Structure 1
Amino acid sequence: MKRLLNILVFLVIGVIVFAIGLQFHIKRLAQPITHTSVLEAPHAYTGIVLGASVKANGNLSAILQDRVDAALMAYQEKKIERFLLSGDHAQKGYDEVNAMKKYLNKKGVPDSVIFLDHAGLDTYDSMFRAKNIFKLTRL
């Protein structure tokens, strides 16, 4: 019984060490392409904004507003030339995509640089569609 407990403790410690090591490895690999400021980001023709919840009154949630504001800043700083707004519009009466579009329009962004993906139900769908439907090459 004591031997089994020792093996179990060893395995748990091993899994924890592996998980921590994996986290550091992923951070190290992602570091060159991770930007903490819009001003640091390289130019990309299209900026993708992933959807998040919209309030019942149609206003953006705080998280979604932060995302749209970051994309707007990138547009204003000439880091992107157009927007791909991707979000959930699968249910009648709930529309993340047009809520983002309205917000950008109010900030002076013309419709001509806004593209809508109404079927971005989750991050995987949004990125898959950005690459395969909208033919974006830099994601």
Structure 2
Amino acid sequence: MESVKVIMDFMNWPVFLLVLGMTTIVIPLGLNVYVYAVTYADRYREIEQVPPQPIAIVFGAGVWDDGSPTPMLADRVQAAIDLYKLGRVHKILMTGDNFRPDYNEVQAMSSYAEQQGVPLSDILLDRAGLSTYDSCYRAQSLFGIHQAVLITQRYHLPRAVYTGRKMGIQAVGLGTPDWGIFRNDSMTYYTFREFIAVIKALWQVQVTRPQPTVIGPFDGGKSQE
């Protein structure tokens, strides 16, 4: 009888592995589809489609060693500039990483916009936007933003809009191009990372609701010296 049990247990392993594989793939996939679907109607690809909003929120996306914005970041800021010049937004919140003195996403974003005619009086800076969650949390709690258009690449936009809404922002999104613009290997990596990030975002906004890394006002990495 013991040998029969061992054989039956062995025969069940493929079923167990199949169920385990389906669980680890199907559930995360379903959650990603859910976030994509519930934000679909309020995500736009063209600037002319975006309904007027009080403010645009632009998420950081890296700077080069010389302090200039990476192409992804420049595209995001440019979209905000175009919205501003069309009168679709009246202010722009640049939110990104300036946690270290030698790394300043928001200054790169602000300088890029200012060089194209956006007055500093219409630019807000959040130097502690260290993640999508932190940026949305602080936009609502610190800057008092309750309605905005969120600007990022299309692969990232569903999570950004979903997170913004759960943080109390009536959010729509403008997605800048990504696939076909940036290298395929880079986009493959970003897309896979985003797949995982959506699961983390759902856990944060639905379960843990952590405070952001920096809660109150923050004037950049120099304040940490």
TM (normalized to structure 2)?
A: 0.57
Displacement of 1:120 in angstroms is: 1.2
Query: Hey, what does 2:54 align to over in structure 1?
Result: 45
Structure 2: which amino acid aligns with 1:125?
Answer: D
Query: Hey, what does 1:89 align to over in structure 2?
Result: 98
State whether structure 2 residue 50 is matched by structure 1 residue 60: no
Q: 1:68 to 1:15 in 2, by over 3 A?
A: same
Per-residue CA deviations over 1:58-92 (Å, capped at 9, x if unaligned) read 21101100110111111112111011111111111
Q: 1:31 to 1:3 in 2, by over 3 A?
A: same
Q: 1:11 to 1:91 in 2, by over 3 A?
A: closer
Superposed CA RMSD in Å reads 1.6
Q: 1:8 to 1:51 in 2, by over 3 A?
A: same
Secondary structure class of the residue paired with 2:67: coil
Counting aligned pairs with the same residue, the percent is: 33
Q: 1:17 to 1:72 in 2, by over 3 A?
A: same
Secondary structure class of the residue paired with 1:49: strand
Find 1:137's aligned residue among 113, 132, 146. Answer: 146
Structure 1 distance, partners of 2:146, 2:31, is 28
Query: Which structure would you say has the larger RCO, counting Cα contacts within 8 Å and 6 or more residues apart?
Result: 2
Structure 2: which amino acid aligns with 1:113?
Answer: D
Alignment of 1:1-139 (within 5 A): 1-13=10-22, 15-138=24-147, 139=169
Displacement of 1:8 in angstroms is: 2.3
Count of residue pairs brought into register by the alignment: 139
Secondary structure class of the residue paired with 1:3: helix
Per-residue CA deviations over 1:87-134 (Å, capped at 9, x if unaligned) read 111111221111111111110111110111111122111111100000
Secondary structure class of the residue paired with 1:83: strand
Structure 2 distance, partners of 1:52, 1:22, is 24
User: Which blocks of at least 5 consecutive residues in structure 2 are unaligned?
Assistant: 1-9, 148-168, 170-225
Which contiguous aligned blocks of 4+ residues in structure 1 show a shift greater than 4 angstroms?
Answer: none
TM (normalized to structure 1)?
A: 0.89
Structure 1 distance, partners of 2:62, 2:84, is 23
Displacement of 1:15 in angstroms is: 4.6
User: Which blocks of at least 5 consecutive residues in structure 1 are unaligned?
Assistant: none
Q: 1:15 to 1:137 in 2, by over 3 A?
A: same
Displacement of 1:39 in angstroms is: 1.3
